Structure 1
Amino acid sequence: MTEYAFTHLRHVALAVPDFDKQLDFYTRQWGLSVAGTDGDTTYLAAEGSPEQYVVRIRKATDKRLDLISYGAADAAAVDTLAEKLGRGGVQLINEPGTLQTPGGGYGFRFFDNDGRTIEISADVAVRRHRKVEEGEAIPVKLSHVVVNTTDPEGTVAFYEKYFGFKVSDILMHPRMGNMMWFMRTNSFHHSMAIARGPHPALHHASFEMRGLDEYMRGTGKMLRAGVEKIWGPGRHLAGNNTFSYFLDPNGNTMEYTTELEVLDEDTWHPHLYDFSEPEVTDQWGTANAMDEFVAAKSFNDVDKGLFVAPPV
């Protein structure tokens, strides 16, 4: 098994009460394509991604984060991880086996230390995808997922211990201490970040655009459509990526980004950045201030799916 247990981020799955508005938002506005529908569940693909889907939405009474899915190198790596988690006392939702979702593959699910459902899979069929063209303001792929937790130190340690995630950078505040850990599972600066919050929940999911022009076109498209902007446009210091955050119809924060830093891992050393310094949160100085409004929206609602496996 490689140093990193996960090869990459595959998709994020959301359960939402207002399914129709959510589907309309992700297809007509955000720029994803319907890859398949099964009852009250729809699978949404990014045109530039080989993943079968990057977002799954499910109609449900309660809003929740259904799961986060990561890829593994092969079936043997999946089995090794399941065995390691079992030995460590981590609660498996199911044993490794054939997946019944688009693209098939081999994998299993488990609860992480906060009770989120995490899926690990290998041998998933590659989707026919295409190059996103110049000027197309649609996502190329899912870039990263950020989660809130009341125990970020414990969550960071969990992902380091079992999956070999590495900390790329940390955000801190002089009064509040360390607040966000950027975690990588390949050479990209982060595919996951872990934020200190009042309860476990999805902080945001981020989508990579083709380039700066397409990122700005996408940001403008959201503004013209009247989608509520939370923060941006700007460029973070940690990860050196652009950011524009918007609320989806069910109150989840979604981000357009581009140019996430690719690290030389042999020479990289994590930074401790003080995000009370304006240039840390936004190098350009073009975004609205990081304030209590931005933070409150990113806390999201209390996740009602902790330690409860999704039905799909």
Structure 2
Amino acid sequence: MTARLLTHLRHVDLAVPDYDKQLDFYSGVWGLTKVTEDSGISFLAAEGSPEQYVVRLRKAEEKRLDLVSYGAASPADVDTLAEQLLAGGVQLVSQPGKVDTPGGGHGFRFFDVDGRTIEVVADVEVRQHRRIEEKEAIPVKLSHVVLNSPDLNRTREWYERHLGFALSDTLMHPRMGEAMHFMRISNQHHSMAIARGPHTALHHVSFEMRGLDEYMRGSGRVMRAGYRKIWGPGRHLAGDNTFTYFLDPHGNTVEYTTELEVLDEDTWHPHVYDFSQPEVTDQWGTANTMNELIAKESFNDVDRGVFVAPPV
């Protein structure tokens, strides 16, 4: 495993055909704040986060995951990582340099082993943010992203070797074998997970709420607005976090969560959990039962952005 140069997850960027409907969803019922918009691209922030934005929407003919962005501590770390990736045979999309998105910074982009575009940036200007108040049921920050991969362990090993991710826990099933790896770049149980799927695609994007009450209020608001709830509310065993999953207007899965586990990395040993046991998927027993139909919802459509860099 390479030295850890990434610090945190910054934002997830989506291309969507029905741009106006998506923008209404994320800046309305989902509770993000539109920071700026220009020529079919909008940047949406979480009020409790210092990140300039946590979701970028781009109007496009085809739905795709444009990119996943991570932070680094310094421009020097960005440059070091770029050199290491080049030496390791990773295909760069751009060279380290000035980033022309809100907040600026110094960064570059590259393809991961499955062909997703990944961005790493340092020195981004901090957005003025605030403490989320009691009963205010809007996202505090971006929590994590889960990616579908047809070769679970190849993807896991690539992220360990090239980007310094560490394995926190694994989900398995007696018939299916390994189904999900939870990966971390800090003491947060996971900022990314890799799910076994039939094709490369986005599995889900998760947003952290202030606490249990705000998580439940937010879940209820989205349900009352008529958006389709896939699974939840409940509490996972791996990560010990709450979950309610919904479909956005284009069929991407989005999650409200809270209380994701913080680990002692020096003493942590990964578990292998059998998710055919109901207490593994939901400790509370309040969520609808996980089944193959629910699982398939998050397979998502085949990603049209594999080894194709987004235009912006």
Q: TM-score range by the shorter chain?
A: over 0.9
Aligned to 2:218: 218
Q: Which structure 1 residue ranges, 4+ long, deviate > 2 Å from structure 2?
A: none
Q: Given residue 129 of structure 1, which amino acid in structure 2 is its aligned partner?
A: H
3-state secondary structure, aligned to 1:29: coil
1:68-115 Cα shifts (integer Å, max 9, x gaps):
000011001000110011011110001000000000000000000000
Deviations 1:9-34 (A, max 9, x none): 00000000010110000011000000
Displacement of 1:143 in angstroms is 0.1
Instruction: Give the equivalent residue in structure 1 for 2:191.
Output: 191
Contact 1:26 1:32 in 2 (8 A): yes
| Alignment map for 1:234-253 (pairs within 5 Å) | 234-253=234-253
Please give the alpha-carbon distance, in whole angstroms, between the structure 2 residues aligned to 1:296 and 1:163.
29
Give 1:3 deviation, angstroms: 4.0
What is aligned with 2:84? 84
Q: Deviation of residue 294 (structure 1)?
A: 1.1
**Residues in 1 aligned to 2:97 and 2:37: alpha-carbon distance in whole angstroms:** 22
Instruction: Tell me, yes or no, if structure 1 residue 299 matches structure 2 residue 296.
Output: no
Letter of the 1:9 partner, please give it. Answer: L
Which letter maps to 2:37?
T
> What is the aligned partner in structure 2 of residue 34 from structure 1?
34
- Shift of the 152–239 alpha-carbon distance from structure 1 to 2, 3 Å rule, reads same
Partner of 1:203: 203
Alignment-mate amino acid for residue 202 of structure 1: L
Give 5+ residue unaligned stretches, structure 2.
none
Using structure 1 for the length normalisation, give the TM-score: 0.99
Q: Give the Cα–Cα distance (whole angstroms) in 1 for the partners of residues 74 and 294 of structure 2.
A: 40
Question: Deviation at 1:38?
Answer: 2.0
Whole-angstrom CA distance in 2 between matches of 1:33 and 1:138:
10
Shift in Å, 1:293: 1.7
- 1:160 is aligned to 160
Is the 1:4–1:186 Cα contact (8 Å) retained in structure 2? no
Q: Which amino acid aligns with 1:111?
A: F
Asked if residue 256 in structure 1 is aligned to residue 275 in structure 2, the reply is no
Whether 2:124 is the aligned partner of 1:151: answer no
CA distance, structure 2, for counterparts of residue 28 and residue 99 of structure 1: 28
Residues of 2 paired with 1:213 and 1:287: CA distance? 17
**Alpha-carbon distance in structure 2 between the residues aligned to 1:144 and 1:297:** 18
Rounded to whole Å, the distance in 2 between the matches of 1:5 and 1:171 is 26
Aligned to 2:298, the other structure's residue is in SS state helix
Distance 1:294 1:271 in 2: 24
Distance 2:204 2:264 in 1: 26
Matches of 1:190 and 1:198, distance apart in 2: 22
Aligned twin of 1:182: 182
What secondary structure does 2:245 align onto?
A: strand
**Partner residue of 1:56?**
56
Count, aligned residues: 311
Deviations 1:173-211 (A, max 9, x none): 001101100000000000000010000000000000000
Task: State the one-letter code of the partner of 2:106.
Answer: Y
Unaligned runs of 5+ in 1: none
The Cα shift of 1:4 comes to 1.9
Q: Which residue of 2 aligns with 1:93?
A: 93
CA-atom RMSD in angstroms: 0.8
Q: TM-score, normalised by structure 2?
A: 0.99
Match of 2:75 in 1: 75
Residues 1:169 and 2:166 aligned together: no
Matched residue type, 1:53: Y
Aligned-partner Cα distance in 2 for 1:66–1:143: 18
Q: Secondary structure at the match of 2:108?
A: strand
The aligned residue for residue 113 of structure 1 is 113
